[in-house]
Amino acid sequence: MKRILSGIKPTGNLTLGNYIGALKHFKDFQDQGEVFIFIADLHALTLPIDPQFLNNNTRDIACFYLASGLDPKKTTIFLQSSVSEHAELNAILQNYLYMGELSRMTQFKDKSAKMKESAIGLGLFAYPVLMAADIVLYDADIVPVGEDQVQHVELTRDLVKRMNSRYGENTLIEPKYQMNKVGARIMSLTNPSVKMSKSDPKGDIFLLDDLKTIRKKIMSAVTDSGSEVKYDKENKPGISNLLTIYAALKEISIEEAEALFKDYRYGDFKKAVADAVIEEIEPFQARYHHFLDSKEYIEVLRQGREKAKAVASKTLARVKHAVGLLDIDEE
């Protein structure tokens, strides 16, 4: 049985892009293999973040996981910081990835370019090492990721090959990344040339936006001076983005969505997209509030911690033995 692992950082209010690119598909993984889904709270510390904001976002993501349909009986849902093996394996693996490799990571270059050199933390630079530890700790076969994380999984694969070459073929399991065919990259509604992120209130649809706000944002989405609903990322990026959203939510192809709206005016097309988004998000929000109010997520995370540690401890022991660290309990 294949083992699938993914996680989300609690660094901001999640958007429709996060839902389509990750949350919506998590429940489908449950029928494809053994699933581990975590909240990457240690990764959230790589940039300055308000403690209470981090705390609240962590709770939100736990409830988002459950609201999206993840079943704790089928999926191990856990908090990264509650499994100490992540930090310990990170400390070992940082000796097998090199500064030249880490400095070439696009995310590091993008984020550090906006900061003074004196303010760039080691955690941001070494972010891919911890991500590699997250992945290999669970012997993950498949890692569903967004486009911006592919480079990090490729680096993890390089690390695994390096470790296995030095210490033996089965020291670590080499993962493969998986991207969604439709909706892997949802763009801003106000600037469809950039990805929908957590930092653009007008261009983003946040998962906890009220329904009227969601509709207003979609109806105000940037389009073009034409009138044809057609997928053309270069000349019609706004319309193409809305088609992508609709197709991803309805689980149809872009071509099917194009055919459906070929005779629509832009206003009617936007209304249909808004209806589709609200149809999906309204029950999702209701489930989220149920799990948040009932605090069921606490017990889910506690049970997930124990299940995760049972797997992680074995991998860590295997790696420590391979690199020559003394296990005093076996002496």
Question: Are residues 4 and 142 in contact, defined by beta-carbon separation less than 8 angstroms?
Answer: yes
Smallest CA-to-CA distance from 302 within 16, 6, 62 is with: 62
Q: What are phi and psi of 163, to 5 degrees?
A: -65, -45
Amino acid, res. 306: E
Vertex 20 angle, CA 111 and 202, to 5°? 60
Q: Dump strand ranges (E) for 67-178.
A: 75-79, 142-144, 176-178
Beta bridge partners of 178: 144
> What is the side-by-side order of every strand in the sheet holding 142-144?
75-79, 34-39, 3-8, 142-144, 176-178
**Annotated catalytic, 250?**
no
- In the block, tokens 């509030």 appear at 289
Question: Are residues 97 and 136 in contact, defined by beta-carbon separation less than 8 angstroms?
Answer: no
Task: Tell how far CA 271 is from the center of its chain.
Answer: 28
Active-site annotation holder among 27, 111, 250, 320: 111
Active-site annotation holder among 9, 24, 195, 236: 195
**Annotated catalytic, 111?**
yes
C-alpha dihedral over 202, 203, 206, 212, to 10 degrees?
Answer: 60
Amino acid, res. 269: F
The per-residue DSSP string of 269-310 comes to: HHHHHHHHHHHHHHHHHHHHHHHHHHTHHHHHHHHHHHHHHH
Kindly list the catalytic residues.
111, 195, 198
